[in-house]
A and B are shown apart, each in its own frame.
Chain A
Amino acid sequence: MIRVNGEPLSWHPGKTVEDVIREKNYRFPLLIVRINGRLVPREDYGKTEIPDGAEVDVIHLMSGG
């Protein structure tokens, strides 16, 4: 189990940042992702695996006119 923005989410070995973004349907493009406080560069979302028990922040920068 991991926590994404404070809410529990199921975990499996090899689960990547991209998997979480897809599962949570986070379609907004301006995201900042941190795993246990460590920043994950955008280009690494597909290859960064999340460890079990991790606190994941997927910060959406605001938008709108």
Chain B
Amino acid sequence: MNREVNDITIEIDGKRVTVPEDTAILDAARRAGVYVPSLCSSDLVEPYGACRLCLVEVDDGSRTRLVTSCNFPVRKPLKVSTSSDRVKRNRKTVLEMMLARWPEVPLVKDLAGAEGLTGARYVHPNVDLNPNACVLCGLCVRICEQGIWEKIVNFSGRGVDRSIRMPYDSLQPHCVGCGACAEICPTGAIEMVDDPNRPYDAEMIRKAGMRITREMIKYDEQQCDMRGVGTAHLVEVMDAYDLLPVENYRFGRHEDTLKIESRVFREKYFSPGKPDGCWLGCTMSCAKAIEGYELKTGPYKGRKVLVDGPEYETVAGASNMGIFDPDFVVEYNFYCDTYGLDTISFSTLTAFVMECYKAGILDEEKTEGLKIPFGASDAAMELLHLIAQGRGFGRVAGKGIRYMKKYFVEHFGADPDFLQDIGMEAKGMEYSEYVTKESLAQQGGYGIALKGAQHDEAWLIFMDMVNKQIPTFEDKAEALHYFPMWRTWFGLCGLCKLPWNDIEPPDNAETDEPAKVPEHVKGYCEFFEGMTGEPQTMDSLVRMSEKVYNFQRVFNLRMGFGTRKHDVIPYRSMGPVTVEEYESRKERYDSQLEEQVGLDPRNMSTGEKLAALRKFREGQYEKLLDAVYKRRGWTDNGVPTVEKLSDLGVDFPEVMELVRKHGG
């Protein structure tokens, strides 16, 4: 949490300005509209006091002295002079020395000229006549280390031999040419020369990339802290909104969530300052690493290993199994990665197994000795190893929820309707880790997604459930058109979507459609144009996706999916399945029955209320499908129409024949 920060009023050249404690005098002066020259300061890096141009005279009541204003923090009321005789004399001396060494650098000439200097009275032994000479401000060194988390460039030599170099004076393999050093250099001393992909306009790409880098450096810590903890920050957020899956999505929060929230991983697990980024040069660097974790189970028991993660989904997968032990999270994260299993599918299918165990559908005999109620972390780990080895109950569970539902009905006489309700899969793929009961749009986001129950086509819970921005079916359908198409575009281009909306420009709130983060959409248009030379708009990018998305829907159709009956979702993702679930949020559901369904819950049993709510919510989902299909230009059965495919230019004969057969 933020500590209490006091405001302090200081006087700069007679102007009073109030700033938070620890603000540098230079920043206070800028806020007060007082000009102070500087060469080596930037809002993107820590102050350094290298150029000495920002010298000011400070009177703290007891004494007067010269300080560099960029790194002198305001901690008590001060009187500051930026242009006293003493300041001017010293500043002039500094500038004369700069002019002696770098006489042709325009910036140095301008700053010196402002102090009345046109030349130096002496010649520097290492005079550099290059107008783009490096002035040793160290901005490039600092942005590389502090902003990009690399150390590609650094100071070398001492005294007059000091210079900026790469180690061994050779191009470093770690340097990905992000361009941050060149961008921040005040004299143009760093030139980007190598563009291996031969883009149409490398400068356009770099400028768009630098805007994201700038936002990451300046705002991430106050926003999502992706560089600090990655997506794990969502654990506590989702818990606060009753959206964190607990015990097979029965509930949305738990009192033990604090044991697995991001703070725990930051303080006790993640290797500090060491991102395990997906690729070099990504300034978001949200993938984290845990070094030296000693495994407790499995074939590598006792070995110390490096673990890549955990991300939000992996942590939330643990709460979904009713497990709130961070060591378990790290252990199952490691073994899923090592075995080539997906943490989402594993945790969701295990949560299903646990609920079946709780409901008596499974017992120790049926699981071949596995005692696996909610919260059983040892049993969950054992199941993971069994799945990987193809042994025991792992042979059944490893085939996923869709298979298990059929198997449990056929072999154990389980109730197929109940299994359909609680088996969290769609199109055969396990749900990712969000509770969707209170967001109809998100239910559609999971149900209609082409690959199965995944939220990466559309994550609309806040827009829908919290913000109430998309109240009508048409509003939801519009969101379920735009966002899946927009997100598909990232896949088309092999780009990550996280820099799109897990960091936000400071003026995003003032734009017309902040949810779309228009400034970042513009940046992606520039990435595309910079690479290909073809100018783009938001609409043209979405249109690219629409072609592919519709083609993929037709592909699903060809493979025996792709119609309305395959967009069904388990009732657990729409509402409470059991009495216990209903009772746990009774006030919410009762008021919905009253306000949305028009029933008086006071005279109804919980069973009756469950049934009435279910009838209502299932009806809502069907209406949502109608609206989405209509918006997308599909038939009532969810098949792209001939007209739509013709309009998109994907009207290949084989495609048209197939959709016609299905009424398109």
| B-binding residues in A (CB < 8 A) | 5-7, 25-30, 32, 39, 57-65
Contact = CB atoms under 8 A, between A and B. Distances in A.
6 contacts: A26-B466, A27-B240, A58-B466, A61-B514, A62-B515, A63-B501
Given A30-B224, A64-B434, A59 B514 contact: yes
B462 A28 contact: yes
B504 interface: yes
Nearest to B459: A64
Contact of A62 (B222, B241, B460, B508): B460
Nearest to B506: A42
A35 B449 CA distance: 36
B472 interface: no
B469 A30 contact: no
A49 to B, nearest CB: 19
A65 B223 contact: no
Interface in B446-480: 455-456, 459-463, 466-469
B41 interface: no
A28 B459 CA distance: 14
A27 B244 CA distance: 13
B501 A32 contact: no
Contacts of B460: 62
Nearest to A65: B231
A65 B498 contact: yes
A20 B508 CA distance: 22
A57 B514 CA distance: 13
B129 interface: no
A29 B462 contact: no
B626 interface: no
Contacts of B313: 65
Contacts of A62: 459-463, 501, 515
Contacts of B469: 59
A39 B510 contact: yes
Contacts of B466: 5, 26, 58, 60
Given A27-B237, A28-B237, A61 B510 contact: no
A28 to B, nearest CB: 5
Contacts of A65: 231, 311-313, 456, 497-498
Given A29-B225, A32-B509, A64-B455, 10 more contacts: A5-B467, A26-B240, A26-B466, A29-B222, A58-B467, A59-B467, A59-B469, A60-B467, A62-B460, A64-B234
Interface residues of B, number: 37
Contact of A63 (B222, B456, B459, B510): B459
B97 interface: no
A9 to B, nearest CB: 13
Interface string B215-254: 0000000111100000101101100110000000000000
A24 to B, nearest CB: 9
B386 interface: no
A7 to B, nearest CB: 8
B297 to A, nearest CB: 27
A32 B506 CA distance: 11
B67 interface: no
B32 interface: no
B59 interface: no
B467 A57 contact: yes
B515 A30 contact: no
Nearest to A32: B509
A59 B460 CA distance: 12
Contacts of A57: 467
A5 B497 CA distance: 27
Contact of B241 (A5, A28, A58): A28
A34 to B, nearest CB: 8
